[in-house]
Amino acid sequence: MSHLILVSNDDGIEAEGLACLTRSLQGLGEVVVVAPARNHSGASHSLTLGRPLKVRRTAPGWFAVEGTPADCVNLGFFRLSGRPPDLVVSGINAGLNIGDDVAYSGTVAAALEGALLGRPGMAVSMDRASLGGDGWTAAGEVALLLARKILERGLPEDTLLNVNVPSGEPRGIRWTRQGRRIPHRPPEMGAGTAAVAAIGEEEFWISDLPLDWKNDPLSDYCAVSEGFISVTPLHLDLTHHRVLEELGGWQLSLE
């Protein structure tokens, strides 16, 4: 039986990156696309509870869901793909998902949902500076290369790959670890603050402007800033195993 690949994203069903990713993976087997009807960037891994999820078939093998990226993969996996997929790929996101972004990213969460359901996952994101050029094509080629490799060799259990493609001609591919931003930027006051203040309200914008990064030559940030494609293996288990041992020394008793 040919491979079945479930594709999703967080930029929404009409995003250019989704079309490019789907085209790139077509040769590997059957591709089913289940994506949010609207942009859900920053949705992280939220699932929609307490209301039904509307699904609209927009083309053969394409489904738009009134929900989050994690909703899409969950529905795709159990209800819309016909059978469990061999691989879940998310993207191609318009904008990098490196370092701390991973905690907020809907693109990464879609791949993570695949891993939660027991299938290898891959999230692919591209530097915004490549938008408008042939960056999509370069990112699509990387997605194809890695998807083929995963289907051939598999991934360890509970693992996904977080792939980030820099702007310009990539110098190569580097295995990396998740970087850290320093410091986080406080939310900005909204321009309408004076007006809304009159009714006793304030408004703020959470900033997504670039910040400095902790200097780590092995990080995703460093690879991308030096022009390399970054591939970070992520896993589901957030337990900090080393610290678990350390904290085991605390005397905790309920008296």
Among the candidate windows 9-17, 75-83, 147-155, 194-202, which touches Mg ion by CB under 5 A?
9-17
**C-alpha–C-alpha distance, residues 167 and 212, integer Å:** 18
Phi and psi angles of residue 25, each rounded to the nearest 5 degrees, phi first: -90, -10
CB of 36 to Mg ion, least distance (A): 10
Contact residue for Mg ion among 7, 10, 160, 224 (CB under 5 A): 10
Which residue's CB is nearer to Mg ion, number 3 or number 45?
Answer: 45
Question: Residue of minimal CB distance from Mg ion?
Answer: 41
Phi and psi angles of residue 92, each rounded to the nearest 5 degrees, phi first: -75, 125
Give the tokens for residue 119. 């299938």
Q: How many CB atoms lie within 10 A of CB 218?
A: 13
| Consecutive H or E run containing 91 | strand 87-94
Is residue 11 involved in binding Mg ion (CB under 5 A)?
yes
Q: How many residues bind Mg ion (CB under 5 A)?
A: 4
CA atoms within 13 A on the CB side of 45: 11
CB of 153 to Mg ion, least distance (A): 28
Among the candidate windows 41-49, 78-86, 158-166, 169-177, which touches Mg ion by CB under 5 A?
41-49
- Going by the DSSP 8-state scheme, the letter that residue 232 receives in this structure is E
CB 63 within 8 A of CB 55: yes
Which of 107, 98, 78, 89 minimizes the C-alpha distance to 33? Answer: 89
CB of 245 to Mg ion, least distance (A): 37
Q: What is the 3-state secondary structure (H, E, C) of 107-126?
A: HHHHHHHHHHCCCCEEEEEE
Amino acid (1-letter code) at residue 119:
R
Is residue 220 involved in binding Mg ion (CB under 5 A)?
no
Q: How many CB atoms lie within 10 A of CB 109?
A: 30
Which residue's CB is nearer to Mg ion, number 24 or number 107?
Answer: 107
Which residue's CB is nearer to Mg ion, number 41 or number 164?
Answer: 41
Is residue 81 involved in binding Mg ion (CB under 5 A)?
no
Which residue's CB is nearer to Mg ion, number 93 or number 219?
Answer: 93
Among the candidate windows 4-12, 82-90, 109-117, 223-231, which touches Mg ion by CB under 5 A?
4-12
Crossing angle (nearest 10°) for helices 135-153 and 16-25: 40
CB of 61 to Mg ion, least distance (A): 22
Contact residue for Mg ion among 8, 24, 41, 232 (CB under 5 A): 41
Which residue's CB is nearer to Mg ion, number 105 or number 219?
Answer: 105
Is residue 93 involved in binding Mg ion (CB under 5 A)?
yes
Chain residues in the site for Mg ion (CB under 5 A): 10-11, 41, 93
